[in-house]
Amino acid sequence: AQTVTQSQPEMSVQEAETVTLSCTYDTSESDYYLFWYKQPPSRQMILVIRQEAYKQQNATENRFSVNFQKAAKSFSLKISDSQLGDAAMYFCAYRRGPGNQFYFGTGTSLTVIP
Amino acid sequence: GAGVSQSPRYKVAKRGQDVALRCDPISGHVSLFWYQQALGQGPEFLTYFQNEAQLDKSGLPSDRFFAERPEGSVSTLKIQRTQQEDSAVYLCASRGSLRHNEQFFGPGTRLTVL
C-alpha cells in the first residue's frame, strides 16, 4: 500500500524567509506523480507544484520548489521569500501512474510571522 | 462554472438521518472523485467515477455510503443513517482527462452529525 508521511504537524517562518516542508512516501511503483497542495481556511485545495517521478529535474514554480530524492523516497517543498498569504495547511500527495486516486499525508500547518 | 462547486457548504444532521451532498464538477471533466477529510487529517479516498461509471468504490467506509453520477456530470454522495463518526469534510474533485495529473478540488461540505 502507498503511504505518505509528513512528520511536521506545524511549522513557522518569518516573512521573507525560506522554509522547507518534509514529505516521505512509500511505494513499490516506478511510475508515479507527487504533488503539494495548499489548503487555506476556506478549505479549497490548491495545487502548488507537481513532480513526475520519471523526471530527474526538480520542479519549480516561482517561489516554490521541490527537492525530489527518488531513492530516498523524499519529496520536500521549499518556499522562498515567504509571504503572509502562504499561511495554510500543506498536503503532500502521491498518485500512482496508471491509477487514479490520490494518497495524502496528514498535512503541515504553516504559520507566517510578520 | 469556472471551478468545482459543492453544496451545501455546511450540513448538520441528527444521528440516524440521511444526508445528500452534491458536487458539480468542472464542465466536461471526465473523472470525479470523492474524499473524506476528518479533522486534522489529510483527505482519504472514497470513490471514483469515469463519466457515469463508478470504477472504484473501495474507499467507502460502509454500505451506508452511496455515490452516483447518473449523467456523467453532477454527482451525489448519500450517507444513510448518519453516525457521529461520519462527521468530516467531504471533498469532491474532478479531472479533465485520464492523461491529466491534476485534480481540481471543490470547497467541500462540512458534515456535523449530532
pLDDT digits (tens, 9 = 90+) for B75-106: 999 999 999 999 999 999 998 866 666 789 99
CB contact B92 to A (< 8 Å): no
Count how many residues are written for chain B.
Answer: 114
Chain A residues close to B42, C-beta within 8 Å: 4, 91, 93, 104-107
Count how many residues are written for chain A.
Answer: 114
Say whether A44 and B93 touch across the interface (CB within 8 A).
Answer: no
pLDDT digits (tens, 9 = 90+) for A31-45: 899 999 999 987 789
Q: What is the pLDDT of residue B100?
A: 62
Query: What does the angle CA A39 – CA B92 – CA B26 come to, to the nearest 5 degrees?
Result: 100
Task: Classify residue B84 by its DSSP letter.
Answer: G
pLDDT tier at A56 (50, 70, 90 boundaries)? confident
Say whether A42 and B107 touch across the interface (CB within 8 A).
Answer: yes
Output phi, psi for A86, to 5 deg. Answer: -80, -10
Tell me the C-alpha to C-alpha distance, in Å, between residue B63 and each of B60, B78, B85.
Answer: 8, 10, 14
The per-residue pLDDT of chain B, averaged, comes to: 93
pLDDT digits (tens, 9 = 90+) for A66-88: 999 999 999 999 999 999 999 99
> CA end-to-end span of chain A, whole Å?
41
CB contact B107 to A (< 8 Å): yes
